Amino acid sequence: MDGNDGTVKLGTLNMKPDRCFNLDSDVSVSSPVTRQKAAAAKQFIENHYRNHHQRLQDRKERRRALQRRAEEAQISNEEQEEIMRDLERRETEYMRLQRHKVGIDDFEQLTVIGKGAFGEVRLCRAKNTGEIFAMKKLKKVEMLRRGQVEHVRSERNLLVEVDSRCIVKLFYSFQDSDFLYLIMEYLP
């Protein structure tokens, strides 16, 4: 204990045993870039937990619906248990697939269907399912040079948040060292 107030001095941090860490007043205010990164991290975490909670609710609802159908069909208890075990196996496999990190190697690029200021839009096919998507491939250097990073981030966030039949659905977004990829539903 350093001070008369019961604090422990740890460099520029003061820690009161009964409180969280307190920063000294000499710590400078964060930069706009730091605030932007913090906001992006906050958005990511909120989206992650919102989606996780929704997936859990959906899973419970599927289980309840299957139990109701099994009871209505007057299936024996043994058959009901087998059906529920099968559902659990399928749910586990689905969750395993959801944890897979998606990347450019998961898609076969077919043809260019549009060009824009930062890149192009390609028709592509998911290698594992054969589904057709539109792949927006954006050059990161161009976005930075033109100061459009925030606009692209806003577009991506909008596509993630909005659930409307009037706006294309964003399925995946990922990046490599040169490009940002947005994998969206393809509307011919």
Give the residue-averaged pLDDT of 109-128.
Answer: 93
pLDDT at 20: 52
Give the residue-averaged pLDDT of 139-167.
Answer: 86
**Contact yes or no for 174/103 (Cβ under 8 A):** yes
Q: What is the 3-state secondary structure (H, E, C) of the chain?
A: CCCCCCCEEECCEEECCCCCEEECCCCCCCCHHHHHHHHHHHHHHHHHHHHHHHHHHHHHHHHHHHHHHHHHCCCCHHHHHHHHHHHHHHHHHHHHHHHCCCCHHHEEEEEEEEECCCEEEEEEEECCCCCEEEEEEEEHHHHHHCCCHHHHHHHHHHHHHCCCCCCCCEEEEEECCCEEEEEEECCC
136 labelled ligand-binding: yes
pLDDT in tens, 93-105: 887 777 778 899 9
Question: Considering the chain, what is the average pLDDT of its residues?
Answer: 82
pLDDT in tens, 24-65: 544 456 788 888 888 888 888 888 888 888 888 988 998 899
Band of residue 160 on the pLDDT scale cut at 50, 70, 90 = confident
Band of residue 6 on the pLDDT scale cut at 50, 70, 90 = low
Band of residue 129 on the pLDDT scale cut at 50, 70, 90 = very high
Claim: this prediction has a pTM higher than 0.75: no
Query: 93, 185, 97: which is closest to 136 by C-alpha?
Result: 185
